[in-house]
Structure 1
Amino acid sequence: MSSNTGAPVVVGVDGSADALDAVRVAAREAAARRRPLRVVHAFIWPLTATPLGAAEGAPAGAGLRHQAERYVAEAVAEAGRAAPEVPVTGAVVDGAATPVLLDESREAALMVLGHRGLGGFAGLLIGSVTVQLSAHALCPVLVVRGESRADGPVVVGVDGSECSAEAVEFAFAEASRRGAPLLAVHAWLFPSPVGPGDVLPLVYDLDALAADEERSLAESLANFAERYPDVPVRHRLMRGSPARVLVEESKTAQLVVVGARGRGPLAGLLLGSVSHAVLHHAHSPLVIVRHPERDDVS
């Protein structure tokens, strides 16, 4: 790929400090991928018939529309300071944040979001827009939270599902790009059904079950390890809560990667229980990768 071309890295901004943190990360990600950066602010006020211009007698730069434009201009300037070599464009797009950014994800290589924003729900552990985009976006979503660090492994959750395979591929590519080791985590409590109508035994041979899980982990990684021989790979296989293990590993990771959905009994949810828990509690930046079903969003 030639420098600074192709699908952009897109970052959503709302004027908050978390959004500017996301802009700095997005600029560095765009530089590493040699892609342009697009800064987007979703401007919902036209939908409420609220006057958008400056009030009578107010300074020329007052008014909601000018404020939105200032958010974008500030973010574009911050991106330029973080990665001067990256071409940056900014846009104020009319509409609510989730549908605007979801539409942007159709053409994006990566979506970058802060984990919280402005408004009455800013005190929540994770913003509602971030949750919705993590579940529905048509590109990988990087959520900026916890401590950004240059050392430590890229950690990926592996469960053998199709969505997990997408996450593993992304994690290998990311580890190769960063020159980082990869830690593949597979945690299990009991066997999970892999298809409708699966009948599971009531009594398990734990040693045999552990051997099966270890074999499944090795098979999930084999093809990608061959494609990325420069990436050192470690396995962590254990019996326990997958979400709890991934959150613990995130304390020393530079990035955690998970699939949006898993293979368990709730795999039909758009955002699985493990990815949802890690999204809320990870101590490092997190990427959520969906299986590429690009025709399931209107």
Structure 2
Amino acid sequence: MNSSPTEAVVVGLDTSENARVALEWAADEALLRGVVLRIGHAWSMQAYRLPEAYKPDMVDSARKAAWDFMEGAAEDMRKRHPGLQVEPELIEEGAVEGLLRMASNGTSLLVTGRRGLNPFMTFLLGSVSEGVAGHTPVPAVLVPVEGAPDPNGPVVVGVAPGEAEPIEFAFAEAERRGVPLKVVRTWMYPQAFPGFISVPPQDQAQRTADETAELEELLAASRSAHPGVQVNVQVELGLAEEAIVNASKDAALVVVGAHRKHAQRFSLPIGRVPHRVLHLAHAPVAVVPH
């Protein structure tokens, strides 16, 4: 078990394709940040439900196989990024619990993979990704199996009223990458009939101006702290998740806040908009906890 307090990017690894994509993304991010890459791989004999008599003979070989798999992945990252410090760690507890434990020890970012399309053309997060996104104490990034549409694309951040938490993180990521920052804010109008919205132009203009003014107040401190970041502000009438997902098509990274008002162990307590963005965004999504 690693107890080093060195700042790190932690990534969860299993044998799936999307986990490998997440590993490569996390290695790039660790190199970009100049920090250690820590790889966590959960293993257990419990899933096989073998008779106790068989377990002593199999545990050592199974654990060695898990370590060899993880060390092989770590060595690949060392060869790909000479000079990158890579620290593999076997997770003895459940995957979610182990990754959250690793994230509490000098970690600046926690990374996992996100599954691809299922037969119903919707995205599945997977239980580990859901657990990490719902309960991580540090910003967590979920990487789709396709990776990022354009690593040099903009950072996109969705900002709800009064929600300052994801803003500084998004500015720092845009500055680190040397790319523009696109700030997305939407608003909805009371509907007289389901599915039908009619907004007087004067009302729409006033509401958009009010939303823009409130948003600019939230952005002011980070604009001052990161003067070199080009900022594009998009305020419009519509669904927040739709606007953010559309903006993610050419993004390097999407940033959203986690709305944890009623956190529960077996749910995804991050709010409707972040939840949908995690499922549908075309780029890696960073969830920034409040």
TM-score category of the 2 structures, normalised to the smaller one: 0.7 to 0.9
Q: What are the equivalent positions in structure 2 for 1:1-298 lying under 5 Å apart?
A: 6-46=6-46, 50=50, 51=54, 63-107=61-105, 108-116=107-115, 125-145=124-144, 146-148=146-148, 149-161=150-162, 164-190=163-189, 205-261=203-259, 268=262, 270-291=269-290
Identity across the alignment (%): 36
* CA-CA distance at 1:207 after TM superposition: 3.4
Assess if the C-alpha contact under 8 Å between 2:25 and 2:147 holds in 1.
no
Distance in structure 2 (CA, Å) of the matches to 1:98 and 1:285:
19
Assess if the C-alpha contact under 8 Å between 2:11 and 2:112 holds in 1.
yes
**Counterpart in the other structure of 1:197:** none
SS in structure 2 at match of 1:39: strand
Given residue 45 of structure 1, which amino acid in structure 2 is its aligned partner? M
* CA-CA distance at 1:45 after TM superposition: 2.3
> Which digits, 9 at most, give the CA deviation of each residue in 1:98-146, with x for residues without a partner?
11111111121111111139xxxxx962211101101101111111114
Distance in structure 2 (CA, Å) of the matches to 1:54 and 1:184:
56
SS in structure 2 at match of 1:251: helix
Figure out how many residues of one structure are paired with residues of the other and give that number: 260
Given residue 24 of structure 1, which amino acid in structure 2 is its aligned partner? E
Given residue 142 of structure 1, which amino acid in structure 2 is its aligned partner? V
Distance 1:27 1:239, change over 3 A: same
Assess if the C-alpha contact under 8 Å between 1:28 and 1:82 holds in 2.
no
* CA-CA distance at 1:172 after TM superposition: 0.2
SS in structure 1 at match of 2:259: coil
Distance in structure 2 (CA, Å) of the matches to 1:165 and 1:105:
22
* CA-CA distance at 1:222 after TM superposition: 1.1
Given residue 108 of structure 2, which amino acid in structure 1 is its aligned partner? A
Assess if the C-alpha contact under 8 Å between 2:158 and 2:244 holds in 1.
yes
* CA-CA distance at 1:255 after TM superposition: 0.7
Distance 1:177 1:248, change over 3 A: same
Distance in structure 2 (CA, Å) of the matches to 1:83 and 1:14:
21
Assess if the C-alpha contact under 8 Å between 1:53 and 1:66 holds in 2.
no
Distance in structure 1 (CA, Å) of the matches to 2:76 and 2:187:
43
Distance 1:138 1:49, change over 3 A: same
Distance 1:72 1:230, change over 3 A: same
Distance in structure 1 (CA, Å) of the matches to 2:13 and 2:73:
7
Distance in structure 1 (CA, Å) of the matches to 2:19 and 2:33:
21
SS in structure 1 at match of 2:164: helix
* CA-CA distance at 1:282 after TM superposition: 0.6
Given residue 87 of structure 2, which amino acid in structure 1 is its aligned partner? T
Distance in structure 1 (CA, Å) of the matches to 2:270 and 2:69:
30
* CA-CA distance at 1:20 after TM superposition: 1.5
Q: Which stretches in structure 1 are left out of the alignment for 5+ residues? A: 56-60, 118-122, 192-202, 292-298
C-alpha RMSD of the superposition: 2.6
* CA-CA distance at 1:52 after TM superposition: 5.2
Distance 1:179 1:224, change over 3 A: same
SS in structure 2 at match of 1:109: strand
Assess if the C-alpha contact under 8 Å between 1:46 and 1:52 holds in 2.
no
Distance 1:43 1:147, change over 3 A: closer
Distance in structure 1 (CA, Å) of the matches to 2:83 and 2:189:
49
Distance in structure 1 (CA, Å) of the matches to 2:76 and 2:249:
27
Assess if the C-alpha contact under 8 Å between 1:46 and 1:94 holds in 2.
no
Distance in structure 2 (CA, Å) of the matches to 1:46 and 1:104:
22
